[in-house]
Structure 1
Amino acid sequence: MRAVWFLRRGRRDTENETPTVVWFCEGDDEVEGRWCTRIVLLGELGLASVLLVDGNKNLHSEPITFIEILAAFNTQAVRMSTPARKRLMRDFKRLQQDPPAGISGAPYDNNIMLWNAVIFGPDDTPWDGGTFKLTLQFSEDYPNKPPTVRFVSRMFHPNIYADGSICLNILQNQWSPIYDVAAILTSIQSLLCDPNPNSPANSEAARMFSENKREYNRKVREIVEQSWTAD
């Protein structure tokens, strides 16, 4: 089958997209991880659509995203049929089709159980302008159990531990299967500006937030500036 890649160029439709052939193979035995990795690289985490056609250029399927190609063809993704992986594929589609303001996220490489995400500091707050990276590690119990979420970026916040772990009720005792990745990330974004100093993960940040808001905001601004240059 032949994969025809369409660069979105910022558009939601395919009306003016130019196809580029990125791979051709004669048999299923050639559809291995190498090919899927190639699609991942070209797809840039879902910002592309893919058509599969046969040697006679007959349409094989409707446009699909790279994550669906991984589900169908990657030999390491046979377990994509599990409920957790199906749910994560739906979460990813929703996040791509209707992304909430100020957040982004996608599976890491070809592992749908591990996500990289970015939260942008809300406008008109001390966090404004910050770009904060996170990881989300899911288990096969998702969505019945929450993922393990951790900030990779350095943070200074009453409810964020030194290792980046987050003290947030929906990630603990108030978790519900109705929450998806978008809901998790938007909740964390809201937590940045609305901390709970009475349940601190960082006692210094909690004390400063309660007793010296000006100094706390100054520390936050330092974190924001560091996020610009962090790897």
Structure 2
Amino acid sequence: MANWSWDAIHTRIIKPESAIKRLHKDYAELIRNPLDMICACPVSEKTFLLWHANMMGAEGSRYAGVVFHLSLLFPNDYPLSPPDVRLLTTVHRSHVYGSWICLDMLETHYTNELYSGWSTAYSLSSILLQLQSYLFDDKDHKDDPEYFRPIPSRVKECVRNARLYKCSECPHNMRINKPWPYTPWMKLRLNGKFKPKPATLKRRENAPKKPKKQKNILNGEKFEDYGLLEGRLASVAIEGEWIEEEWEEPAQDEEKNSLEQVKTLLTDLPMEVLVHILSCLSEVDLKNTKMVPNTFVHQASLECCRLFDIKRDPMMCFHTKLNHLESVLGIGINLRRNPISNVLSYADSPLDVLSWKAYTDHRVVKGVWRQPFEFWLPLYINKEHAGRAWPLFRGNCL
């Protein structure tokens, strides 16, 4: 079994070609599996390490139909280090300070806590998914007293700035309704076909029966007492009487309310067990777990989303994203000998699929969640792969 004795992989000077190759893999994955209400691309072929992305607020959220622009600057040693993410149009959210986002997945200050910090298994898609999930999560988690409560005026200011933003680094210009990067779903949403939250508006008894209709009051921006409403028509009482707003409760809430006991049982489970359970769900069902108003369950679902691309194609190196046709795949492994007899008595492995190229060229000696290992052992996948793996096995394992 091959073995490296490097103490730290960051001591090497890594050329940007390695990061660019990995980003090409990430880009291909993003094109094959487009993300809902997210698009991203490099600013130019000459600066492939600098990417810009657009995210649109989810239907029913306080930012519904609004396009937010951000930049991602990838380092030369990506994926060993995370990208530098900056919000070019800020979002009113906890742990967001102007353009900077304080998110543990973008940090390399590692701790012993499982599933925390940056992992080389993350891809462009998983980064964008987590950012979207965090920035636009406005569910009211009533069980968490420290959960973020937005200030309506700040939300309104963020929306206004996003709709007037013109980027100095790319063609993105919302002043003329020209987002960049651009995908067809943006045209559908920006043309007013994005459905808002269902709502009924009631008049007081002294209000006139027929309210006056004013055209093109877009999204209720002129009404301080309203949230951001979707649609191009707004009704206003003739004499300015107060209009009360009453939200309809989705039918699924009745079912959710009947599962309170189940949620309580889930919170009694250790985080590792809960993550393992949720990892068995499909990607669609995994996203739906965000509807559960419990911070503990919600955090576990986020950890599962981080590994969605690994779950999609397990026979792929978590670091380089090379499959078994492009490189010999194996796993990291540790061997322990009896201190008295010197007989091999114990072996353990993080069981994360790693390519020979990542182990030799990139000197990766830690698993997805930084579990260290000393050796690399090739896997048997099929006859063709075994033919390429056998020389490595003979030269390094026998």
TM-score per shorter chain, which class? Answer: 0.5 to 0.7
SS state at 2:159 partner: helix
Unaligned runs of 5+ residues in structure 1 are 1-78, 196-206
How big is the shift at 1:140? 1.5
- Given that 1:136 and 1:150 are in contact with CA atoms closer than 8 Å, whether structure 2 keeps it comes out as yes
State the distance in 1 between where 2:32 and 2:162 align. 27
State the distance in 2 between where 1:193 and 1:153 align. 13
State the distance in 2 between where 1:156 and 1:103 align. 19
How big is the shift at 1:97? 2.0
Q: Deviations over 1:151-191 (max 9, x none)?
A: 111332212112x0111111114111111111111111111
- Given that 1:126 and 1:221 are in contact with CA atoms closer than 8 Å, whether structure 2 keeps it comes out as no
Aligned residue type for 2:160: E
SS state at 1:99 partner: coil
Aligned residue type for 2:101: I
State the distance in 1 between where 2:19 and 2:39 align. 20
- Given that 2:91 and 2:135 are in contact with CA atoms closer than 8 Å, whether structure 1 keeps it comes out as no
Identify the residue that residue 226 of structure 1 maps to in structure 2. 161
SS state at 2:157 partner: helix
State the distance in 1 between where 2:72 and 2:89 align. 13
Identify the residue that residue 104 of structure 1 maps to in structure 2. 39
- Given that 2:54 and 2:69 are in contact with CA atoms closer than 8 Å, whether structure 1 keeps it comes out as yes
Aligned residue type for 2:96: I
- Given that 1:121 and 1:128 are in contact with CA atoms closer than 8 Å, whether structure 2 keeps it comes out as yes
Identify the residue that residue 30 of structure 2 maps to in structure 1. 95
Q: Deviations over 1:169-226 (max 9, x none)?
A: 111141111111111111111111348xxxxxxxxxxx9x74xx4x624422331233
Q: Does residue 85 of structure 2 align to residue 149 of structure 1?
A: yes
Identify the residue that residue 104 of structure 2 maps to in structure 1. 169
SS state at 1:150 partner: strand
Aligned residue type for 1:177: T
SS state at 1:112 partner: coil
Q: Deviations over 1:100-139 (max 9, x none)?
A: 1011100111211110111111221112122111111111
The percent identity for this pair of structures is: 31
Higher helix share: 1
What is the CA RMSD across the aligned residues, in angstroms? 2.1
- Given that 1:114 and 1:138 are in contact with CA atoms closer than 8 Å, whether structure 2 keeps it comes out as yes
Aligned residue type for 1:187: Q
- Given that 1:127 and 1:221 are in contact with CA atoms closer than 8 Å, whether structure 2 keeps it comes out as no
How big is the shift at 1:143? 0.6
Q: How does 1:181-200 map to 2 (within 5 A)?
A: 181-194=124-137
Unaligned runs of 5+ residues in structure 2 are 1-14, 111-116, 139-145, 167-398
- Given that 1:104 and 1:117 are in contact with CA atoms closer than 8 Å, whether structure 2 keeps it comes out as yes
State the distance in 1 between where 2:81 and 2:151 align. 33
Q: Does residue 81 of structure 2 align to residue 138 of structure 1?
A: no
Identify the residue that residue 20 of structure 2 maps to in structure 1. 85
TM-score by length of 1: 0.54
Aligned residue type for 2:103: L
TM-score by length of 2: 0.32
Identify the residue that residue 169 of structure 2 maps to in structure 1. none
